[in-house]
Amino acid sequence: MASYPLRTRINSNLPANILLYDLCIYRMNPDRNKYVLVDVKLQSVTNNYDTQSHVVENVYESLSTIYIMEIILYRKTMLHAHCVTQVPFTKMYTLEEFASGKAYSPVKLQNPCYYVSEGTLKPESEGVQIISVKITRPERAFISKKYPINTLQDPFEKNKVEKDIQNRFMALSYPKQAGASLCGPAAFFYCLQLDRPDVYAQAARELWRYGKTKIGKLDISPGEGCRHPSGDFYGDISGLDWMTLAGLRDSENAIFSFDALDSPVAGITMWQTLTEWFEKSGYEKVFSNVGVTQAGIQGIRDLNKYVQQGYRVVTLINDGLLEGSDNNTTLPTHWVVWDGVVTQDSNGYISLKLFSWGQSINWVKAKTDLQYFTNRFYGGVVFKPLL
């Protein structure tokens, strides 16, 4: 249990003493219940454009816990405080960043901002005056080459992406990589969506706005090719899933760029990389038996125990185990998330509810016996659910 002074920073070209703000800092649980650390109204901005230090007591969470902040800005006049932001500015930081004064971005427009044009207007009696105002805004971060801005099938159109984000936030749909080789990122974002739907939604919105985001210590900053991909999208992968799944995978690629829907080599995820994604975002690894050799019956038993205790179990398999796959090899090819234990019926056939390709169902092919399963099972990594 501890107490922390929490603050962030505002950017403006107005005197700090005429600015006010509302600030809410909160997190959500898997049931979307909000836990609020700070909720203040009409507070004064300090001379260096920081917010006040809002001290919170009796905090039990780890410093790596991610919180969302919402800020509304006001401008003071002689009689009133006028709201100058149409919608709250939102960004996410860890508790440590809020407490250490690092909850702000070095990029000006990625902070709550309020700027006014400078200059003095002349009275009309002094002659006609023409004022020229130039308004600019950055190019949208993600643009499809085949379906660019203002085309009907634009996969990154704002309303389309926001609708998909809302569906994910309410658990009406899940990450779906379809034909793109992005099963590792899909497994990561599925777990994140289950544990912290608020963080999932905020990360997606930041990717759309800025072309990058940060989940704890996990930087997702896809390159130019990934942000301007080629391919059809429709019937394959949504704009939201491209931003999140391909964006995460491309951020890790030093050699290959994930810039098209058919980039299989660039999409392969090793278990070291997948584990790093989880740990950087705040997950704690508690067990691993993943490797280049089959994990066997004992490996199944080990992971079954963790599933029963509510841990997140992400396993590496050969996708030939799953319905719809015609893979005849036994090589490790696919990441899945267990949503139940492996069971065996009276005929010796295996069942397992797991997440893959946008659904959590019993994906295991009918009449799969234990030997067929273990020949295509390469163990997994176990994490505590993210708080």
The ranges assigned to domains in the chain are: 2-114, 158-280, 285-383
Nearest Cα residue to 175 out of 160, 151, 194: 194
Whole-model pTM: value is: 0.91
The fold of 2-114 is: Immunoglobulin-like (2.60.40)
> Can you give the pLDDT at residue 266?
42
List the beta strands (DSSP E) in 125-277.
213-215, 218-220
Orientation angle between helical segments 158-169 and 197-210, nearest 10 degrees: 170
Structure tokens at 184: 């590792």
Cα–Cα distance for residue pair 13/116, rounded to 1 Å:
7
Q: Tell me, what DSSP letter sits at residue 243?
A: I
d(CA 23, CA 42): 9
Residues of the chain scoring pLDDT < 50: 254-259, 261-267
pLDDT at position 264, please? 43
* pLDDT at residue number 136: 57
- pLDDT for the residue numbered 2: 87
Whether the Cβ atoms of residue 189 and residue 201 lie closer than 8 Å to each other = no
